[in-house]
């Protein structure tokens, strides 16, 4: 269980909250390189706790360094379909609706490739 807001962040792996020292160790271990590099700048400049700035920076960093973007045309189509699909569902007494597979059946392979990709090792190489 995690409780990030209101701060301080608290996490548990059972019936007890982790100590602040344990939380800090986890954050250090799993913090993405781009957040380590840009985190403080992002908090001071961007909205949503700096995440808007980080996402923009990540896109620019990928373009500068020839890395694949984190979102492709299939993601854009899927994310754009949520509104119309929700409207249809509401108009039909909240019936469920199948979300189309815009990848033509390649979604599972695409997801596997995304998480196996080495792009995360090279994030944040652009000079600040």
- Is pLDDT above 60 for 43? yes
pLDDT digits (tens, 9 = 90+) for 47-86: 677 788 888 888 898 899 888 888 888 889 999 999 999 9
Q: Which residue has the higher pLDDT, 112 or 85?
A: 85
pLDDT reported for residue 71:
82
Q: Which residue has the higher pLDDT, 103 or 89?
A: 89
- Is pLDDT above 90 for 9? no
- Is pLDDT above 80 for 117? no
Q: Which distant-in-sequence residues (6+ apart) come within 8 Å of 34 by Cβ?
A: 54, 57, 58, 61, 123, 124
Q: Which residue has the higher pLDDT, 46 or 63?
A: 63
> Are 37 and 124 a contacting pair, CB within 8 Å?
yes
pLDDT reported for residue 30:
87
pLDDT digits (tens, 9 = 90+) for 16-40: 888 989 988 988 898 887 777 787 7
Dihedral angle of Cα 25, 36, 66, 103, to the nearest 10 degrees: 60
Q: Which residue has the higher pLDDT, 40 or 123?
A: 40
121 forms beta bridges with none
pLDDT reported for residue 97:
93
- Is pLDDT above 80 for 8? no
């Amino acid at each position: 269980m995690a409780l990030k807001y209101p701060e301080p962040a608290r996490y548990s792996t059972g019936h007890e909250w982790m100590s602040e020292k344990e939380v800090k160790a986890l954050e250090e271990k799993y913090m993405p390189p781009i957040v380590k590099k840009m985190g403080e700048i992002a908090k001071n400049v961007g909205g949503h706790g700096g995440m808007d700035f980080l996402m923009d920076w990540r896109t620019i960093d990928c373009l500068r360094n020839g890395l694949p973007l984190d979102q492709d045309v299939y993601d854009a189509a899927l994310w754009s379909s949520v509104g119309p699909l929700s409207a249809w569902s509401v108009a039909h007494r909240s019936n469920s609706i199948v979300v189309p597979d815009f990848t033509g059946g390649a979604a599972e392979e695409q997801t596997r490739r995304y998480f196996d990709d080495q792009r995360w090792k090279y994030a944040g190489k652009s000079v600040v």
